[in-house]
Amino acid sequence: MSAGISKRRVFVLGGTGTIGRATVRVLIERGHDVVCFVRPRPTGGDRKNADNYPDLSDGVELRHGDVTDAASLSRDGFRGETFDAVVSCLASRTGVPKDAWAIDHAAHVNALSAGKAAGISHFILLSAICVQKPLLAFQEAKLAFEAELTASGVPYSIVRPTAFFKSLSGQVDRVRNGKPFLIFGDGTLTACKPISDRDLGRFIADCLNDESRLNRILPIGGPGDAITPKQQG
């Protein structure tokens, strides 16, 4: 356990995603006791991905269940045990309305309810900066849960990254292969400060022991000035 860090028992949602994996690695490095709730094992013939979570294999307890099922979340996930915190990096894969409201909203409502029953004193949510001006279903669903979380009485930290570095660096291979760097419009209408997986994982994990981040919405970006897509290119 690092100096100045109190050990927590942490229940993690979305731990198999890009940011989730980075966050779990930091939680383990910080010495926390981590339980990750992941999708059920396949029951048919194709089991190659059943436990294919190499980044989560050391120091993490995996529990399998359905995050969209409140009964499964309580029975298979929390199991009537006590936890100090819930950390959620969970997000809908498609962002279409049905998935968004099932994952970005309803699954989180279930997790908040189960977490309260488990005695949590902190709920850390990975959200997104784009919910400030919601236009799409996933943004509205995230914002709706944020409102329920802030009104719940459970201490919270809502982390809103400005952009993920990985989502912007995908064009590097295009350029290396002689293809153009893609921009929309003239490439100057927006600007952001992309943050790396590792840095964002550190920021999320460190919310557990930083009282200044309690009951706050926390925009976070990478170092330096915000840059436009044209500047990125």
Q: How crowded is residue 100: how many other Cβ atoms within 10 Å of its Cβ?
A: 23
Between the CA of residue 157 and those of 7, 30, 97, what are the distances in Å? 18, 18, 25
Is the pLDDT confidence value at 50 over 60? no
Give the per-residue pLDDT at 32.
96
Give CA separation, 78 vs 26, 45, 86, 203, 212, in Å: 22, 29, 10, 25, 28
46 falls in which pLDDT band (50, 70, 90)? Answer: very low
pLDDT at residue number 5: 75
CA–CA distances in Å: residue 166 to residues 10, 91, 111, 196: 26, 16, 28, 7
Rounded CA-CA distance 33/61 in Å is 9
Axis crossing angle, helix 137-150 with helix 108-117, rounded to the nearest 10: 20
50: which residues sit within 8 A by CB, 6+ positions away?
Answer: 41, 42
Examine residue 182 and state whether it is found in any structural domain, yes or no: no
pLDDT bucket at 170, cuts 50 / 70 / 90: confident
Across the range 53-76, mean pLDDT stands at 86
Does 50 fall in a domain?
Answer: yes
What was the pLDDT predicted at 193?
A: 81
Residue with more model confidence, 193 or 28:
28
In a domain, 179, yes or no: no
Q: Which domain holds residue 48?
A: 9-164+196-221
41 near 50, Cβ under 8 Å? yes
Token pair of 150 as six digits: 């802030």
- Please give the single-letter amino acid code of residue 167: S
pLDDT range class, residue 182, cuts 50, 70, 90 = confident
**Contact at 8 Å (CB) between 164 and 195?**
yes
Token pair, residue 116, equals 């309260």
Give the whole-angstrom CA distance, residue 86 versus residue 152.
14
Q: Are the beta carbons of 60 and 28 closer than 8 angstroms?
A: yes
Residue 78 has pLDDT above 70, yes or no: yes
pTM reported for the whole predicted model: 0.86
Report if residue 200 sits inside a domain: yes
- Work out the pLDDT band at 48, boundaries 50, 70, 90: very low
Asked whether residue 145 is domain-assigned, the answer is yes
Q: Is residue 178 part of a domain?
A: no
Q: How far apart are CA 209 and CA 4, in angstroms?
A: 8
Q: Is residue 231 part of a domain?
A: no
Counting the structural domains of the chain, the total is: 1
Instruction: Report the CATH number that the domain containing residue 152 is assigned in CATH.
Output: 3.40.50.720
